[in-house]
């Protein structure tokens, strides 16, 4: 083999191409090795853009997933707001109406953190306890508000 056969090509690899050569004298044919550099196609801009997009997409998915987990953990650690009935140690409160409004306003003032169904149940209890025929209340009216 020749000394050039062991040298690396432009990309660090060398391929060997076998060529046929005939000696000048009438003798046997010899196969001689000649180095041929193997060129890899460079990663084009489209390939780089696609690879960058995939990396960005995977990163965004990981960040989003970690955010969801952190949100779930923080909600699990928050103390649950106790029910209106659990907070009150008395069974009934008396409320004097200050401004014109409705029984819904009174229920909202007594239990501002109550959910919709809890507030609706409280409105029903106020109407029944005070024998109201209308949901409207007038200033100066005194209402009994059952808490349970």
pLDDT (tens digit per residue) in 78-119: 555 555 545 445 588 888 888 888 888 888 888 888 888 888
41 pLDDT band (50/70/90 cuts)?
A: low
29 pLDDT band (50/70/90 cuts)?
A: low
For the four alpha carbons of 86, 92, 98 and 100, in that order, the dihedral sign comes to positive
Say whether 142 sits in a helix, a strand or coil: strand
Joined together, the tokens standing for residue 104 give 């819904």
Buried b (16+ CB within 10 A) or exposed e, 133-148: eeeebeeeeebebbbe
Percent of the chain with pLDDT over 90: 7
Contact 30, 21 (CB under 8 A): yes
Query: What does the pLDDT read at residue 24?
Result: 56
Q: Is the pLDDT of residue 49 over 90?
A: no
Integer CA distances (angstroms), 137 to 22, 58, 97, 115, 148, in order = 117, 59, 7, 22, 22
- Number of Cβ atoms within 10 Å of the Cβ of 76: 7
The arithmetic mean of pLDDT across residues 20-46, rounded, is: 63
Note the pTM of the prediction, 2 decimals: 0.39
Q: Is the pLDDT of residue 18 over 70?
A: no
DSSP classification of residue 31 = E
Which has more confidence, 1 or 54?
54
């Amino acid at each position: 083999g020749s000394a050039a056969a062991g040298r690396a090509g432009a990309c660090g690899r060398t391929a060997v191409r076998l060529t046929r050569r005939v000696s000048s004298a009438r003798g046997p044919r010899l196969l001689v090795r000649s180095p041929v550099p193997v060129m890899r196609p460079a990663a084009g801009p489209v390939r780089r853009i696609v690879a960058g997009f995939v990396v960005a997409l995977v990163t965004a998915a990981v960040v989003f997933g970690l955010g969801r987990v952190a949100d779930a953990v923080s909600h699990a650690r928050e103390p649950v707001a106790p029910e209106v009935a659990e907070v009150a140690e008395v069974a009934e409160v008396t409320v004097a109406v200050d401004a014109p409004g409705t029984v819904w306003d009174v229920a909202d003032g007594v239990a501002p953190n109550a959910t919709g169904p809890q507030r609706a149940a409280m409105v029903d209890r106020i109407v029944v306890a005070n024998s109201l025929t209308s949901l409207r209340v007038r200033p100066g009216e005194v209402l009994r508000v059952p808490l349970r």
